[in-house]
């Protein structure tokens, strides 16, 4: 028998979709994913220490604790949860066909894809260690930049596009100085973003440079730079490192079953809606949002996807 709704993913979008779907008596099943070296169940917030910008937590909350609370709330309404990946899908016929990492075949009347997007990192051992331990390395300035640990410090941003400039400008509100490290001698950012960065007295540039190591034991103390011209190395003291080289949406398993944009994010048929190119399949969270990438917006789209799925199922007479 086909399940009424299957939710793929377990970040704020997935768990919120589960809560709404469960309360609508859709008996949702969540495939929260298997832990791997690039993603874990719960999504990007599992790599975040202090979350201060999610409403309802005036004293802040640990990212891991927040995701556990989301999960527990979905379980309260009898959501079924499997710690498996969905490895492939077939949306060419209805009910939809899905295959799990345990080689199980599942049928679904509707699907919510909430698999998120993973930050692109430099893949340096110390970078990952300090990012996971809360040691001063982050891939989200808007999430973490206002934390007390970064205030009045010299902060380094790696990147040269609009996102890097936007994060650098945001960090100037809290940092004593922001140093933008870029591998070339000119930015890829749009002209207006470049003008804003160059005009900001708190922003400096390290051109033709890459970060080859992150220094520090429990907390970051600096970065090691290498020239892209002559390979010379130098150390730069800093109190925080922000990686701003983009995100990769987790959509490989879809294998062309839904339309994606040029960056691999799931496209939706209408603005401010979650319906994908396949009727009965909905998308929520960072997997369809290359712009905001915040926990609160992901949760909002999880709500939207569950509501749209419930209304679609009702309209089709499937529930």
Q: Is 85 a known active-site residue? A: no
Residue 78, judged by CB atoms within 10 A of its CB (0-12, 13-18, 19+), counts as: exposed
Per the residue annotation, which of 68, 90, 105, 140 is the catalytic one? 140
Q: Is 144 a known active-site residue? A: yes
Q: Is 238 a known active-site residue? A: no
Contacts of 37 (CB under 8 A, 6+ apart): none
CA distance 114 to 285: 6
Burial profile 275-293: b = 16 or more Cβ within 10 angstroms, e = fewer: bbebebbbbbbbbbbbeeb
Among 174, 50, 218, smallest CA distance to 157 is for 174
Per the residue annotation, which of 85, 144, 286, 289 is the catalytic one? 144
Per the residue annotation, which of 85, 143, 286, 289 is the catalytic one? 143
Q: Which residues are catalytic?
A: 140, 143-144
């Amino acid at each position: 028998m086909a399940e009424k709704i299957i939710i793929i993913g377990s970040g704020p979008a997935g768990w919120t979709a589960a809560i709404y779907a469960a309360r609508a008596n859709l008996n949702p099943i969540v495939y929260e994913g298997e832990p791997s070296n690039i993603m874990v169940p719960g999504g990007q917030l599992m790599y975040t220490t202090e979350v201060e910008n999610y409403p309802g937590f005036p004293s802040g909350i640990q990212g891991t604790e927040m995701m556990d609370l989301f999960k527990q709330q979905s379980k309260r309404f009898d959501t079924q949860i499997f710690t498996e990946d969905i490895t492939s899908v077939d949306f060419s016929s209805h009910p939809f066909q899905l295959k799990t990492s345990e080689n199980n075949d599942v049928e679904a009347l509707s699907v919510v894809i909430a698999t998120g997007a993973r930050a692109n990192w430099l893949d340096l051992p110390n970078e990952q260690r300090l990012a996971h331990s809360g040691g001063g390395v982050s891939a989200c300035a808007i999430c973490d930049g206002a934390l007390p640990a970064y205030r009045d410090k010299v902060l380094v941003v790696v990147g040269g596009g609009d996102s890097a400039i936007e994060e650098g400008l945001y960090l100037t509100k809290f940092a004593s100085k922001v140093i933008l490290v870029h591998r070339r001698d000119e930015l890829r950012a749009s002209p207006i973003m470049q003008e804003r960065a160059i005009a900001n007295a708190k922003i400096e540039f390290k051109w033709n440079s890459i970060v080859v190591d992150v220094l520090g034991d429990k907390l970051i103390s600096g970065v090691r730079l290498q020239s892209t011209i002559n390979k010379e190395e130098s150390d730069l003291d800093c109190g925080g490192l922000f990686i701003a080289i983009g995100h990769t949406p987790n959509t490989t398993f879809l294998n062309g079953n839904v339309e994606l944009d040029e960056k691999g994010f799931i496209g939706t048929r209408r603005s401010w809606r979650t319906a994908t190119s396949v009727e009965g399949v909905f998308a929520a969270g960072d997997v369809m949002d290359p712009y905001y990438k915040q926990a609160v917006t992901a949760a909002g789209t999880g709500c939207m996807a569950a509501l749209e799925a419930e209304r679609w199922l009702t309209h089709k007479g499937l529930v």
